[in-house]
Structure 1
Amino acid sequence: HQSIGFPATVLRLPAVYGPYDYQAREWYFIKRFLDGRQQMLLPDFGWGVNQREYAGNVAEQLAFLLTEPASIGQIYNSGHRHFQNFRDLIHLAEELFGRKMSLFGLPKEDILWKVPLAESGLYVLSTGKLEALGYRERYDLRAALQETINYFVANPITEDWVFETRQSKQLFDYRTEDELIERALPLTKYTHKHD
């Protein structure tokens, strides 16, 4: 920014979700709850940690950085302060929907479709630098996921959307999912919590 004489700040974003999210990556599990499914298949047993950020928090972060002169010339990471693996995210959705679902896991290579943001591995960035500047998360994961669920309940996605976004229609082929579940490992809820 100094070489061009224009103040600049960089905010690196993870996968952003919430109302009006055209990618609707959470639709994989939200639709299953809405369809009354009793079971769900998780790739790589749901252990993948892919940090997300709620759109409302991104707006708050941008407004905060625009009013903070110390941010000029700096790079910050966006993301929920507390993040969860995919299985934890499904358990949170169970709480928000008020019902349990039987979860099953298979290696991702054995599943015929790619589940958005459920890849195995650890994909997170530290938000400590942003917090050290004084930013505080407004929407925690629970509140943000509830807002996202509310939006998609009121605005369900059509089959045309699946085609337009190039996501596989197999994501909602429940007959094939049930066949895969027959050879999958049942997953139980564990009590690990992120601080």
Structure 2
Amino acid sequence: MQALVIGGTGPTGPFIVNGLLARGWRVEILHTGHHEVDEIPPEVAHIHVSPHDPVALAAAIGDRRWDLCIATYGRLRTIAEIFAGRVGRFISVGGGPAYLGYMNPFLHTPEGLPAPLAEDAPLVTDPAQDEKGWRIVCTEEAVFRHHPEATHFRYPYVYGPYQPAPREWMVVRRVLDGRRRIILPDGGLTLDAYGYAENLAHAVLLAVTQPERACGEIFNAADSHALSLREVVFHAARALDWEFEIIDLPAALALPARPLLGRPTTSHRLYDLTKIRSRLGYRDVVAPAEAVARTARWLAGHPPPPMSGIPVETVLQDPFDYAAEDRLIERWQQALATLAIPDWSTPPGYGMAYSGPGGRARSQATFEE
């Protein structure tokens, strides 16, 4: 059985390639050749061509055929068309921006995505809503037009080694720079669907081994346990034997945290994984807390290189302006120090159903069985 992986050297690629090899497949990868990684073993053949160039791609593959093609990189609409009739099975990877509101949360009232998002949630239907999301939806339609029995995955943001724009770098660099304070919006309680590279590769490999359950289907894929932004910071820092003082600011004021949050609201962005769990038996192979720790340790030893000559800090849009951060923290603390809390005739409570710390006192001094 011969498989072609388009990509192969990004975050999920080595896990997919080596997973296929372990399952008895003969594997080739198709990529530009600009980035090679040690995790790809020497028995894997390489086709070096840009998967964004349709003419060069068609010429490079000629009249060859494969039993399986996994397309994780490149211009997917063009790839789907070129490989029509050339592969036994076609598995493709797209993204969450297909969902209405994923990139433009203000399309919902109040703003923010419904949580969690199932595969049948509303999609972008007009470029005026979100041009990127609309293009992704059109690409999904093209995949199934050319490959009716395809399997398509909607990835969230992918983290792990070889992620070219890693959000964890914004935490790791602050550790390496000796920063002890980090600003988070609304306490860093925002929950996000993210996917560790090994976990997402595992999802794809489950589809490879269960064609009867995967063909013709679209699946959400993500870590099944969503970490809050605060938890991501905590686990990344702890992996490097570091501890931050979390500076909790209202989102409107927490400007230094914009790059880490990655969008203009602190509303949640969560996937419903019921379908992939029930149909394919998906479970995380690496717990997200450990996955974040592994990523942080890897980044500490492998600072991300520039992307096309552009510093990764510019791509992430984090200026790492610690002097400005400190001025903001100082002004916030001064404002809190001068804020007079009013007296209440009856202090607000948490509701009589709440019995945790600061809640309703027990009705009896002792408990009798």
TM class by shorter-chain length? 0.7 to 0.9
Separation in structure 1 between the aligned mates of residue 217 and residue 176 of structure 2, nearest angstrom: 43
1:31-180 counterparts in 2 under 5 A?
31-69=173-211, 70-113=213-256, 114-117=258-261, 119-132=265-278, 133-157=280-304, 160-163=311-314, 165=315, 167-170=316-319, 172-180=320-328
- Paired residue secondary structure (2:260): coil
Shift of 1:158: 6.0
Deviations 1:9-63 (A, max 9, x none): 1211111111111111111111111212111111232121111101111111111
Partner deviation per Cα, 1:112-157 (whole Å, 9 max, x = no partner): 4422336511100111211112122111112211221122111114
CA distance in 2, matches of 1:8, 1:178: 52
Larger Rg: 2
| Whole-Å separation in 2 of the counterparts to 1:48 and 1:108 | 11
Distance 1:117 1:111 in 2: 10
Between the aligned partners of 2:318 and 2:153, the Cα distance in structure 1 is 33
Question: TM-score, normalised to structure 2's length?
Answer: 0.46
CA contact (8 A) 1:13 1:77 kept: yes
Give yes or no for the alignment of 1:24 onto 2:166.
yes
Aligned identity (percent) is 30
Query: CA 1:44–1:6 in 2, change beyond 3 Å: closer, same or farther?
Result: same
After superposition, the Cα gap between the structure-2 partners of 1:111 and 1:5, relative to the gap in structure 1 and judged at 3 Å, is closer
With over 3 angstroms needed to count, the CA separation of the structure-2 counterparts of 1:108 and 1:168, relative to structure 1, is same
The number of residues matched between the two structures is 183
Contact 1:15 1:51 in 2 (8 A): yes
Structure 2: which 5+ runs fail to align?
Answer: 1-142, 337-369
Amino acid at match of 2:165: Q
Q: TM-score, normalised by structure 1?
A: 0.83
1:5–1:147 Cα change, 3 Å: closer
Distance across 1 between alignment mates of 2:237 and 2:250: 23
Distance 1:184 1:93, change over 3 A: farther
Report the more deviating stretch, 13-22 or 177-186.
Answer: 177-186
1:76-116 deviations in whole A, cap 9, x for unaligned? 11111111211122222233222321110222322344223
Aligned mates of 1:46, 1:88 — CA distance in 2: 8
Distance in 2 of aligned mates of 1:93 and 1:73: 38
C-alpha distance in 2, partners of 1:6/1:107?
47
Give the match's secondary structure for 1:148. helix
Give CA deviations for 1:148-169 in whole Å, capped at 9, x if unaligned.
Answer: 1122111114682223x2x334
Give 1:184 deviation, angstroms.
Answer: 3.8
RCO (CA 8 Å, sep 6+): is it higher in 1 or 2?
A: 1
Asked if the contact 1:46–1:85 (Cα under 8 Å) also holds between the matched residues in 2, the reply is yes
Aligned twin of 1:193: none
Contact 2:240 2:297 in 1 (8 A): no
- Partner SS state of residue 123, structure 1: coil
Indicate conservation of the 8 Å contact 1:104/1:184, yes or no. no
The amino acid of 1:92's aligned partner reads H
Distance in structure 1 (CA, Å) of the matches to 2:283 and 2:304 = 32
Structure 1 counterpart of 2:325, one-letter code: E
Pick which of 30-39 and 109-118 moved more.
Answer: 109-118
